[in-house]
A = this chain, B = another copy of it.
Amino acid sequence: MSRFFMNERETLVEQALEGFAESHSGLVDVHPDPLFVTRRTPTTGKVALLSGGGSGHEPLHTGFVGQGMLDAAVPGDVFTSPTALQVRAAIQAVDSGEGTVMVVKNYTGDVLNFSIAAELLADTHRVEQVLVDDDLATEREDDGGPGRRGTAAVVAVEKICGAAAEAGVPIAQVRDLGRRVVARSATLGVSFEACTNPETGRRSFELEPGEMEFGVGIHGERGIQTRVIGKADDLVESLVSRLVEAVGLRRSDSVLAIVNGLGATHGLELAVAARQTRRVLDGQGIDITRSLVGPYVTSLDMKGLSITLTALTDDLVKFWDAPVRTPALVW
């Protein structure tokens, strides 16, 4: 018996997508075979913006399909890349002639399958890619490995590129804007309790009382270090300090801060983290010009949070502020 609420493991993603689509039927359509999600009302004459990846990170990416953000999202099974054929079908559905920008989180399977999809369409469609690799915990000296993982900065990339595409910005500039956001972003995550494996109903790892994992990603894996849980403020300070250094922020800089719940983290906990994020940055003369606090990129029901900082410029703020109308983000 699992404590993950579902019918069978095999039907989880399909049934959840049906429920999601019905709850947001004014905004999105689910195409079942091959599986992808598009806006209910397609917008043509603009660059198409598409993303996707394994399920289990909701509201990412399906919750960000809609006006001002994604044209399509391509969900795989839980923590599993979608196939190249899914991605190809989604591109064919949303590319209205201005080309498609794919936002791809840096995981081997995703990178492979999105690239194959683009290659399959090379003769007929212009497809550009923004690779998101914001997770500091996986930074290594150049070891020929896969590089940093993609985590919550993907929300900033999708929002900003989505606004640019909606405003009629051409494909190369939408792509470059996304790459700029990635280059100006960094994320670190921590976990206080692992997520439930829907297959077994067991947690993906066990922590001793008072322990936490530092530097977790979004696939239920352990972090880079097991630490003692201290005060929230001390932990947030250590996260934010590393992010400030990694992004190269200086006094008077302006940032977007995403304080992201990993699935089972309560609003009170996220608000305490958001408060200290602001205080640490204030102390260094860095201004949180925009922020987003809530569960946006989850790791199933993991208890934990990540903090993302993105260095802002005026044009990035303008695209961040542009109207958005999706199931998970509205303004």
Contact = CB atoms under 8 A, between A and B. Distances in A.
Interface of A: 1-8, 12-13, 15-20, 22-23, 55-56, 58-59, 63, 78, 192-193, 201, 209-210, 228-229, 231-233, 259, 263-276, 278, 291, 293, 298, 300-301, 303, 305, 330-331
B4 A269 contact: yes
A16 B271 contact: yes
A229 B201 CA distance: 12
B233 A272 contact: no
Given A22-B275, A263-B264, A275-B16, A269 B6 contact: yes
Secondary structure type dominating chain A contacts = mixed
Copies of this chain, how many?
2
Contact of A232 (B7, B23, B192, B298): B7
A250 B277 CA distance: 51
A23 B209 contact: no
14 contacts: A2-B229, A3-B193, A5-B192, A12-B268, A15-B275, A20-B274, A20-B293, A23-B291, A58-B266, A58-B271, A63-B267, A78-B268, A264-B264, A266-B298
A266 B263 contact: yes
A148 to B, nearest CB: 25
